[in-house]
Amino acid sequence: MPEVEPAAGVTSPVTVADHQYCPATALLSRIGDKWSPLLLSLLSRRSYGFNELDRSVEGLSRRMLVRTLRSLERDGLISRTVHPSVPPRTEYALTDLGRSLQEPLFALGRWAVTHEIELLAARARFEAAP
């Protein structure tokens, strides 16, 4: 989805640069990883502490939690606030930018839920082919 809509009308080949620097492709390559969508979903309602997130998601390793949070913070989608209390607490929350992303992301999620049965049916049909 590099050129969003006009891409379909291209006559010249899509270059590597086109593909790489397309905002849409770049976005999906960042938030399309294994844990970003889940963390964005959790943070969509309220803020979380680090260990709270760690305990909230089964199967998510500490390492990947940190990496994913850093990636989202780097893109300005979440904020990281260190409270110098005792014990120390680091709070993660969605930024305005991150909040604005929720709408198109939820739209995609709704599509997936709506068409889940069709997807499963298509896969079953494909598997049944000789």
The candidate with the shortest Cα–Cα distance to 98, out of 20, 29, 27, is: 27
Residue of the chain from 34, 74, 110, 115 that contacts DNA (CB under 7 A): 34
Which helix (H) or strand (E) segment holds residue 71: the answer is helix 62-74
Pairing, β 89-94 against β 48-49: antiparallel
Q: Which stretch binds a copy of itself (CB under 8 A): 25-33, 61-69, 82-90?
A: 25-33
Taking residues 43 to 72 in sequence order and writing x for each that binds DNA by CB under 7 A, - otherwise, the string is ------xxxx------xxxxxx-xx-xx--
Q: Is 87 helix (H, G, I), strand (E, B) or coil?
A: coil
Q: Which stretch binds a copy of itself (CB under 8 A): 14-22, 61-69, 85-93?
A: 14-22
Locate 127 and state its tokens: 């598997």
Locate 30 and state its tokens: 């960042």
Taking residues 71 to 100 in sequence order and writing x for each that binds a copy of itself by CB under 8 A, - otherwise, the string is --xxxxx-------------------x--x
Residues 83 and 89 sit within 8 Å (Cβ to Cβ): yes
Locate 52 and state its tokens: 């709270």
Applying CB under 8 A, the residues found at the interface with a copy of itself are 1-5, 7-10, 13-16, 19, 23-29, 32-34, 37-38, 40-46, 55-59, 73-77, 97, 100-101, 103-113, 115-116, 118-119, 121-123, 125-126
